[in-house]
Amino acid sequence: MSFLNFLKKRRAKKARGRTAGAASAPAPVARTAAARPAPPIVSMPKSAYDRVYAEVMATVEGLSQDDVAELLLLVKESGSDGLNLGGYFTRGYERFFKNREWRWREYDEWRETFEKLAAFPSNWTDINYVPTPANRPTHTRLLDLDVVELQHYLTETGVPFDATLQKTQLASMAEHTEGLKTSRLWTRLLKKEEEAVQEAIARRPKVLYDLLMRTIAYRAKSIRDLERAQALGIRKHEVMLVFEADRRFVDLARKKNPDAVPPYYPNDFTQLRPILDND
């Protein structure tokens, strides 16, 4: 065998050895995504507004869960945690409350409570109030008219008057004229009063919506203020009333729920003032 043939056979044998070795080596195993450890799930604490919103909206009937969730997103878009009512008030009412049958049980419960007491807080808003013009004195009703209307009526009836007279004086003169309640002036007044009644009835849902959203916003603010004070080591607060006569209503609310914060009932203006301990 020639030396050249010997080298060729030797190289072929080495090549076969390398191929066999490579085939026997274990192939690397790719690590799938499922094999990786899952990151820990961290739940962010709910804001004060989220907590109050959930609690209060649980007492609202007539809205779906989707409506409640979408209204919260609309409030969040205002960027003020509820205090910028101008950023969501009209859109929220038009989209979720207008022309819809709904009620707020918390408001109804407080109204029933105050009715049983035969007394209401100073700033209580009665959404069911409808003006009853017929129960008012004639002079007071005439004040709802414009000065020009009163002047025109006195001119028609031949009653002389000074052009510099104020409305209250013109109304007094008109009140004592004969035929007032059969005149066109009185007809116009009755029409205006009926329109006022119908407007009051139409405003009811929007007034209640206003009370609802303000209650949520300012209760959330009270909680944020309390939490900030607690973080500074302040543990005591004083109840600050707008009217001292309302203390009985505030005490009633705090007895009913010791954890309650202002506003204790719809349209309550009570605040909590931190007490600094110098010890």
Same domain, 209 and 191: no
In this structure, is residue 9 part of a structural domain?
A: no
Same domain, 117 and 100: yes
**pLDDT value of residue 117:** 96
Question: How high is the mean pLDDT in each 10-residue block of the chain (279 residues)?
Answer: 45 52 46 48 70 97 97 91 89 95 97 97 92 90 96 96 96 96 95 91 93 97 94 92 96 96 97 82
Distances (CA, A) of 119 to 123, 176, 224, 243: 12, 38, 31, 14
Same domain, 109 and 222: yes
**pLDDT value of residue 277:** 75
Domain residues for 105?
48-126+205-274
**pLDDT value of residue 200:** 87
Same domain, 196 and 93: no
Q: How far apart are CA 271 and CA 118, in angstroms?
A: 25
The counts of H helices and E strands in the chain are: 10, 4
**pLDDT value of residue 269:** 96
In this structure, is residue 24 part of a structural domain?
A: no
Same domain, 56 and 190: no
In this structure, is residue 194 part of a structural domain?
A: yes
**pLDDT value of residue 267:** 97
Q: How far apart are CA 72 and CA 205, in angstroms?
A: 19
Same domain, 76 and 196: no
Rounded to two decimals, the pTM is 0.73
Count up the domains in the chain and report the number: 2
In this structure, is residue 30 part of a structural domain?
A: no
Same domain, 188 and 58: no
Same domain, 77 and 188: no
Q: How far apart are CA 205 and CA 208, in angstroms?
A: 5
Same domain, 99 and 159: no
User: Domain ends where: 203, 218, 233?
Assistant: 203
In this structure, is residue 25 part of a structural domain?
A: no
Beta bridge partners of 202: none
User: Domain ends where: 203, 231, 249?
Assistant: 203
In this structure, is residue 151 part of a structural domain?
A: yes
**pLDDT value of residue 37:** 54
Same domain, 102 and 192: no
88: which DSSP letter? T
**pLDDT value of residue 11:** 52
Same domain, 222 and 118: yes
In this structure, is residue 36 part of a structural domain?
A: no
**pLDDT value of residue 263:** 97
In this structure, is residue 259 part of a structural domain?
A: yes
Same domain, 144 and 164: yes
